[in-house]
């Protein structure tokens, strides 16, 4: 686009000038053709009529007025402002209305004001011809370009199938057909609506429903499938994607429905199918503005603040104006990363209200010093060792960090009268078969015991597996696929519950809002996912065929690993909360004095590196089951 320093757009000026000149000629031609059409386009027949001279004279004398009035009307209806390359129904409507207005204005001017005589049918003929001639000028280029693109579609190197014949699919196909920058040809459309079967969208046929996808891919030699169903529930999209993944086509999806409302749907917004599309449920949505009100003006401490959950907590907390945010982590690299991220996004807040401290929750003096200096009102306790196989061969470290660290932070929260303490727990704490899960169950018991000791509300939040967190299965699978395989799955039967990082954090936040004390909050995470299916889907989404391009290797269950995880113990039961996707496990009655005596003994035993602490854990957690001769006590066989 050519524009000088004063903002003058020469290209736009030239285009409008050309249209105005064309419209002047169109008005003159419509005037002549409107009269000729009255006599079957025969000039000889017209001149043979006795009133021919009067009619021609009337039209000729009124023509300058007609031109001025018509151009003014066209300008009023923005006929020189629209981008006719992308014109649609609205622009066509404006064109027709402006031409009709010109016809009415001509009737008023000639018949009622100047009292000029012309055949009564002339006004209708004039208007009709004006509409045709003006439409040709506005739509001829678009029609020509469409024709050229149709001729060149065979040269395009990607054949596309669009799934969804709704507004999103319509917008997508129109843009792909009109854009000269996209070397892709939309060959067919899929939609389950029987009323749309056999219909055409911008010249592309709706060839069938979801069960016709595989057959249509072969018939039309499809290379890429685009799912244009932004408002369809995740469960339905997953079923469709399961079918698409039986093909070798590249898969893309269109973003959410709000882009349609804002008129933002475009090819540039297509994205690769994400693994979250395959979980079979919609994301959990929470009203964080209302529930984070209790954070405003408070001093908030996040232990493990540099980790996956801790850092996301910090991102959300900082937007709700706490008095101070304290990030506490033993790993300085993680703490530094989230500090720099927050400084870039919220420089004003971070100037004097963000504090990053390095230290361990195992250090009593360090914890005591932090609580004495800053008196945190709300504590989110996310610091923990979480890797199941590693904790099996280092159980004493799991006790020292997870159990004793939680104990020390709870003691400080009670001593300095914090408002709330929220523990990050795990579904592996239910009937645990590994050290990590058992230590988390003990942490839950500590939290429930401390809730009865003072005014601080102690609660726990129980998670499933978090998608994309460090050490989780998704990054591992992606690395294995990038390396060419094999992708390792422990057992073909193993299943897990999954949640996204924002979902996990929103649950922590809601737990803090709902907390009355002693609760274990649990998220309804929908149906569990088979890890084998997840591996196959990731391989397909990467453009490979499972078992052919990328091998899947079964390695056997690791020490302490279950085939499936549970979210609640049988005796806990369930209570509802205002959010129907969040439930509360009832506190379990226990002898607190005996529990803390055993906990003190466990603390001493964990410091004896050669001691088998699992029997002590069994005393504290009767539901803990383990296989003797595994982990650190197996002479390295399972390491």
Same domain, 342 and 482: yes
Same domain, 438 and 295: yes
Is 344 a member of any domain?
A: yes
Rg of the chain over CA atoms, in angstroms? Answer: 36
Quickly list DSSP for 81-123.
TS-GGG--HHHHHHHHHHHHHHHHHHHIIIIIIS-----TTHH
Round the average pLDDT of the chain to a whole number and report it: 80
- Residue 446: which CATH number? 3.40.50.720
Is 5 a member of any domain?
A: no
Same domain, 313 and 392: yes
Catalytic residue among 386, 428, 440, 536: 428
Domain stop point among 118, 149, 180: 149
Question: Would you place residue 153 in the very low, low, confident or very high pLDDT band (cuts 50, 70, 90)?
Answer: very low
Which position has the higher pLDDT, 451 or 473? 451
Is 32 a member of any domain?
A: yes
Residue 151 pLDDT exceeds 70: no
Same domain, 144 and 163: no
Query: Lowest mean pLDDT: which of 15-19, 24-28, 46-50, 189-193?
Result: 46-50
Q: What is the pLDDT of residues 398-449, one digit of tens each?
A: 999 999 999 999 999 999 999 999 999 988 888 888 999 999 999 999 999 9
Place of tokens 């290209």: 11
- Residue 428 is among the residues annotated as catalytic for this protein: yes
CB 490 within 8 A of CB 535: no
CB 528 within 8 A of CB 470: no
Same domain, 86 and 182: no
Domain of 381 in residue numbering reads as 288-633
Question: Would you place residue 630 in the very low, low, confident or very high pLDDT band (cuts 50, 70, 90)?
Answer: low
Mean pLDDT of 591-599: 90
Q: Identify the CA nearest to 361 among candidates 404, 415, 396, 423.
A: 404
Which position has the higher pLDDT, 626 or 310? 310
Quickly list DSSP for 333-383.
HHHHHHHHHHHHH-HHHHHHSEEEEE--TT-HHHHHHHHHHH--SEEEE--
Question: Would you place residue 258 in the very low, low, confident or very high pLDDT band (cuts 50, 70, 90)?
Answer: very low
Same domain, 407 and 544: yes
CB 617 within 8 A of CB 378: no
Task: Count up the domains in the chain and report the number.
Answer: 3
Same domain, 460 and 534: yes
Is 638 a member of any domain?
A: no
Same domain, 335 and 472: yes
Which position has the higher pLDDT, 506 or 195? 195
Same domain, 256 and 376: no
Same domain, 378 and 237: no
> Highest-confidence range of 195-209, 549-563, 603-617, by mean pLDDT?
195-209
Mean pLDDT of 582-586: 73
Mean pLDDT of 79-97: 70
Question: Helix (H, G, I), strand (E, B), or coil: what is residue 596?
Answer: helix
Q: What percent of the chain has pLDDT over 70?
A: 79
Is 1 a member of any domain?
A: no
What is the reported pLDDT for 364?
95
* Strand (E) or helix (H) holding 500: none
Same domain, 374 and 246: no
Two structure tokens written together for 57: 């004279």
Q: How much is the pTM?
A: 0.60
Q: What is the pLDDT of residues 287-339, one digit of tens each?
A: 666 566 788 899 999 999 999 889 999 998 998 889 999 999 999 999 999 99
Domain stop point among 250, 273, 296: 273
Longest dimension (CA), the chain: 124
Question: Would you place residue 359 in the very low, low, confident or very high pLDDT band (cuts 50, 70, 90)?
Answer: very high
What is the reported pLDDT for 332?
94
Same domain, 570 and 448: yes
> 87-94 contacts: CB < 8 A, separation 24 or more?
87/138, 87/139, 87/142, 91/138, 92/135
Buried b (16+ CB within 10 A) or exposed e, 34-47: bbbbbbeeeeeebe
CB 460 within 8 A of CB 517: no
Question: Would you place residue 217 in the very low, low, confident or very high pLDDT band (cuts 50, 70, 90)?
Answer: very high
Domain stop point among 229, 249, 273: 273
Give percent helix, percent strand, percent coil of the chain, each to the nearest 5: 50, 15, 35
């Amino acid at each position: 686009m050519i524009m000088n320093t004063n903002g003058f757009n020469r290209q736009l000026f030239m285009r409008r000038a050309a249209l105005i000149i064309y419209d002047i000629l169109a008005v003159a031609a419509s005037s002549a053709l409107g009269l000729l059409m009255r006599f079957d386009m025969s000039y000889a027949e017209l001149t043979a009529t006795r009133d021919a001279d009067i009619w021609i004279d009337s039209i000729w004398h009124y023509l300058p007025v007609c031109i001025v009035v018509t151009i003014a009307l066209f300008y009023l209806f923005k006929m020189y402002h629209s981008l006719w390359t992308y014109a649609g129904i609205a622009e066509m409507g404006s064109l027709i209305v402006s031409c009709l207005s010109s016809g009415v204005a001509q009737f008023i001017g000639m018949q009622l004001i100047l009292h000029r005589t012309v055949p009564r049918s002339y006004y209708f003929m004039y208007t009709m011809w004006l509409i045709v001639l003006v439409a040709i000028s506005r739509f001829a280029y678009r029609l020509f370009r469409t024709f050229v693109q149709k001729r060149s579609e065979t040269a395009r190197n990607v054949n596309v199938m669009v799934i969804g014949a709704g507004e999103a699919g319509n917008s997508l196909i129109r843009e792909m057909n009109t854009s000269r920058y996209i070397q892709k040809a939309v060959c067919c459309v899929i939609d389950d609506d029987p009323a749309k079967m056999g219909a055409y969208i911008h010249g592309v046929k709706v060839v069938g429903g979801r069960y016709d996808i595989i057959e249509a891919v072969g018939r039309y030699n499809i290379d890429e499938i685009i799912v244009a169903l932004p408002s369809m529930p995740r469960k339905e999209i997953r079923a469709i994607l399961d079918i698409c993944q039986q093909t070798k086509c590249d898969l893309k999806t269109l973003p959410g429905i709000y882009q349609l409302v804002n008129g933002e749907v475009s090819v540039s917004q297509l994205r690769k199918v994400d693994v979250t599309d395959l979980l079979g449920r919609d994301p959990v949505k929470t009203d964080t503005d209302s529930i984070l009100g209790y954070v405003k003006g408070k001093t908030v401490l996040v232990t493990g603040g540099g980790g996956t959950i801790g850092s996301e907590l910090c991102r959300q907390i900082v937007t709700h104006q706490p008095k101070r945010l304290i990030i506490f982590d033993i790993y300085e690299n993680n703490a530094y990363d989230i500090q720099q991220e927050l400084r870039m996004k919220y420089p004003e807040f971070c100037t004097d209200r963000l504090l990053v401290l390095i230290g361990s929750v195992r250090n009593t003096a360090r914890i005591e010093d932090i609580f004495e200096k800053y008196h945190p009102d709300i504590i989110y306790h996310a610091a923990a060792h979480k890797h199941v196989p590693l904790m099996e061969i280092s159980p004493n470290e799991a006790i020292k960090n997870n159990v004793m660290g939680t104990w020390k932070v709870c003691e400080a929260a009670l001593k300095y009268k914090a408002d709330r303490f929220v523990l990050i727990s795990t579904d592996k704490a239910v009937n645990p078969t590994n050290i990590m899960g058992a230590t988390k169950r003990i942490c839950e018991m500590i939290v429930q015991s401390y809730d009865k000791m003072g005014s601080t509300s102690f609660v726990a939040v129980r998670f499933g597996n978090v998608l994309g967190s460090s050490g989780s299965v998704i990054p591992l699978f992606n690395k294995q696929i990038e390396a060419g395989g094999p992708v390792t799955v422990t057992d073909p039967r193993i299943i897990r519950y999954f949640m996204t990082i924002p979902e996990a954090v929103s649950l922590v936040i809601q737990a803090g809002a709902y907390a009355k004390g002693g609760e274990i909050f649990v998220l309804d995470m929908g149906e569990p996912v088979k890890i084998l299916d997840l591996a196959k889907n990731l391989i397909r989404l990467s453009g490979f065929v499972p078992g052919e391009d990328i091998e899947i290797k079964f390695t056997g269950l690791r020490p302490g690993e279950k085939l499936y995880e549970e979210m609640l113990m049988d005796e806990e039961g369930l209570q509802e909360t205002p959010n129907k996707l969040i439930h509360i496990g009832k506190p379990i009655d226990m002898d607190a004095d005996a529990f803390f005596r055993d906990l003190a003994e466990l603390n001493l035993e964990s410091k004896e590196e050669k001691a088998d602490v699992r029997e002590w854990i069994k005393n504290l957690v009767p539901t803990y089951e383990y296989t003797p001769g595994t982990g650190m006590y197996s002479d390295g066989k399972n390491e």
